[in-house]
Amino acid sequence: MNKGNILQGPMGLVLMIVSAIVALAAFGYAFMDLSSVGHRSFNTTSQIPWGQPIATYLYFALASSGLGMIAALSLVFGFKQFLPIAKRAIFLSFVILIAGMAVLAMELGHVFRMLWVIPLNMQIQSAMFWMGVFYIADLIFLLWKFQKMEGQEWDSKTSKQIGIASFLAVLLASGNLALIFGMMSMRPFWFDGLMPIYFYLTAVASGLAAVVFFTYLAYGFNRAAMPERTRAMFEGPMPKLFAAVLGGTVLFIAVRAVTGVYTNNPEISVVWREFLFASPVYQASLWLGIIAPFVIMMIAGLRSNPSMQVLVSMAVFAGLFAERYFFVVGGQVVPLFRGTWEWGLIQYTPSMTEWALTIMGSAMLFALFAAGERFLNLSDMPAEPAPEGATAAA
Amino acid sequence: MTKWGMVIDLDKCTGCQACTTACAMENNTLPGENWQDVLYYSEGSYPTAKLTWLPRPCMQCENPSCVAVCPTKATYKDMDAGGIVFVDWNKCIGCKYCMIACPYGVRFYADEKPVVEPDVRDVFPGEGQLHAPPYQGPDSDSVRGIGIQPKGVVSKCTFCYHKVSKAPEGVADLDEDNPETKEFTPACVRTCPPKARYFGDLDNPESEVNRLIADQRGVRLKDHTGNRPQVYYLGSGADVPAYQSPKKT
């Protein structure tokens, strides 16, 4: 166990208990509303059926996939510099997906019915069917891989095979999640064959934000308290990877925005002009949550600064949450038939119950993470191999 | 095999919403959750402004995009029932993906904020039903989404299958003016005052609906989607204008 990890002390206990209380309170609030008046407590409508709870699920599910990909850097592709965060990334990937699924469960009309009607009816034409299959596979492989790490099986053949399977499950799950939106030709704002690439990129960005923030949190935002190899990772390869991924995200958003604004199709151009760019929240999330962090990470003098890394991780965390929200809602704001009472874009603001679900998922993540830091050694990593020269000399 | 289809003559339709009301009464839908609605459009400005309207039921598409996306097969197209698209309320999990995938916006998740006040669900609260109004239609078939819908599921127009299914076998058209088929005619067709709606078998070359589609060049809404509706429009007004920002109009 690492002595610098403050979450293994009283701070961790406090964080775990407070987060659990917040999660339970938010769950209680949402549950009371849903059981008394049903989905009337949501502000979603038949015109905008998917609102903030779906955006929250999407955000968590993709952050989970991103964390799985980050773990694969060292566990599958052999980039040993990222080994110090591999175990934490796998654990975070697991718990953040659990949090996302909890939010989704509260959003559905009949969550328990889902457990038997999906396997009994085998609708293999539906991307949502495959979402269930791939994310369950993802959960199983993440858990299995974590169990191998707990048993100090970092390099065994089985452990490597499970790592590869986990990585493939992550790719399939997040790619398929992208296609749930990307295959909807009747929703032109989403309809895009490259949507999986966009989701992979932003998944890694949100995964990096998560692993940077939670690693710093574990060490009391004090890099000096981190193990040497973890410190070296934060001083070298991690900020460079973060810069590259944020750069890719900026590029992808720019390309989508340029084509979106340029097209005559109002179901795309109006969304960009009058829903996204017209919103101060979207503007703030874009400039402060994605572009500014990219600029900071590009400046050599700033990207290694611990405070900047924490600031960037928090900004990207918030920025990408907004990105998911505007993505999900943006695909629905243009009425399918502008008629009768729909003269403008369809209005949607999340209700208190919907916010409660977002808070519930976030607090669950913090509580489970604090529990993980307390009861499992998430900072664990295999011993550094001896330098090649030393082996030869011996 | 019968393939039920509807023809709506927009040159005869007066936009009176009698179809909308009849549908709501027949199917016990919540106020505002209009499985059948008439949408109005205005374009241009005085003195050459144009007002058009479009009655919009479920299109019961030949190639329905809502069916393929449903993860539980709750939404299905029943070829033995004339190709009508149903929602099995016993299988629907309320994920609402079908509502996303429908290009026509004719699916409803009535478990939402009331569209019309006062909220009928509070006035007539129901156990197992979204609401329990004093009058309820005698027909109920949850496998086909007929009757008062329960909570947490999606609902839609069924072409009044509970009526249509009782029609004499092999009949070409269901016409409210024909005493032998009047009772089996969908509520919106039967009630239409200017007789702008026709209902019949699209697989029967002798049917009135097929004759109208051929003679008067029937068109399908948003045909480019590839969904191939079983609802056809005649006359002018099916060229629904694309969404335009109110800032530009």
Per-residue tens of pLDDT for chain B, all 249 residues: 899 999 999 999 999 999 999 999 999 999 989 999 999 888 788 899 888 899 999 999 999 999 999 999 999 999 999 999 999 999 999 999 999 999 999 999 989 999 888 899 999 998 888 899 888 888 899 999 999 999 999 999 999 999 999 999 989 999 999 999 999 999 999 999 999 999 999 999 999 999 999 999 999 999 999 999 999 999 987 777 777 777 655
- B244–A contact, CB cutoff 8 A: yes
User: How many CB contacts within 8 angstroms connect chain A with chain B?
Assistant: 145
- B93–A contact, CB cutoff 8 A: yes
* B141-150 own/partner pairs: CB under 8 Å, 24+ apart: B142/B88, B142/B89, B142/B90, B143/B86, B143/B88, B143/B89, B143/B90, B144/B78, B144/B81, B144/B86, B144/B87, B144/B88, B145/B86, B145/B87, B145/B88, B145/B89, B146/B27, B147/B28, B148/B28, B149/B89, B149/B110, B150/B89
Percentage of residues of chain A with pLDDT beyond 70:
95
Tell me what pLDDT residue A340 has.
56
- HSE, CB side, 13 Å, CA atoms: give it for residue A261: 12
Q: Average pLDDT for residues A81-109, to the nearest whole number?
A: 94
Domains contained in chain B, number? 1
- B240–A contact, CB cutoff 8 A: yes
* B74: closest CA of chain A, how far (Å): 9
C-alpha angle with apex B196: B190 to B201, nearest 5 degrees? 70
Tell me what pLDDT residue A248 has.
95
| Burial environment of residue A20 by CB neighbours within 10 A (0 to 12, 13 to 18, 19 or more) | middle
Test B39 with A340 for CB contact under 8 angstroms: yes
Residue numbers of A between 40 and 59 with CB closer than 8 Å to B: 40, 42-47, 49-50
- A129–B contact, CB cutoff 8 A: yes
Residue B225 lies in a domain: yes
Q: Note down the domain range covering B145.
A: 4-234
Rg, Å, chain B Cα set: 18
Residue whose C-alpha is closest to residue B97's, from A126, A277, A99, A314: A126
- B224–A contact, CB cutoff 8 A: no
| Residue A303 backbone dihedrals phi, psi, to 5 degrees | -65, -20
- A267–B contact, CB cutoff 8 A: yes
Instruction: Return d(Cα B99, Cα A352) in angstroms, integer.
Output: 24
Q: Residue A393: is its pLDDT beyond 50?
A: no
Residue B244 lies in a domain: no
* B83: closest CA of chain A, how far (Å): 19
Residue B69 lies in a domain: yes
- A128–B contact, CB cutoff 8 A: yes
Interface predicted TM-score (ipTM):
0.93
Residues of chain B in contact with residue A331, where contact means CB-CB under 8 angstroms, are 100
Instruction: Return d(Cα A127, Cα B71) in angstroms, integer.
Output: 8
Tell me what pLDDT residue A386 has.
55
Q: Which of B93, B108, B243 sits opposite A335 (nearest CB)?
A: B243
Q: Would you list the domain boundaries of chain A?
A: 6-380
* A147: closest CA of chain B, how far (Å): 32
Q: What CATH number is associated with residue B39?
A: 3.30.70.20
Residue numbers of A between 93 and 122 with CB closer than 8 Å to B: 108-111, 113-114, 117-118, 121
Instruction: Return d(Cα A83, Cα A228) in angstroms, integer.
Output: 12
Residues of chain B in contact with residue A337, where contact means CB-CB under 8 angstroms, are 39, 54, 56, 104-105, 240
Q: What is the DSSP letter of B97?
A: H
Instruction: Return d(Cα B131, Cα B155) in angstroms, integer.
Output: 14
* A265: closest CA of chain B, how far (Å): 9
Residues of chain A in contact with residue B104, where contact means CB-CB under 8 angstroms, are 336-337
Report the topology of domain A6-380.
Answer: Formate dehydrogenase/DMSO reductase fold (1.20.1630)
Residues of chain A in contact with residue B66, where contact means CB-CB under 8 angstroms, are none
Residue B202 lies in a domain: yes
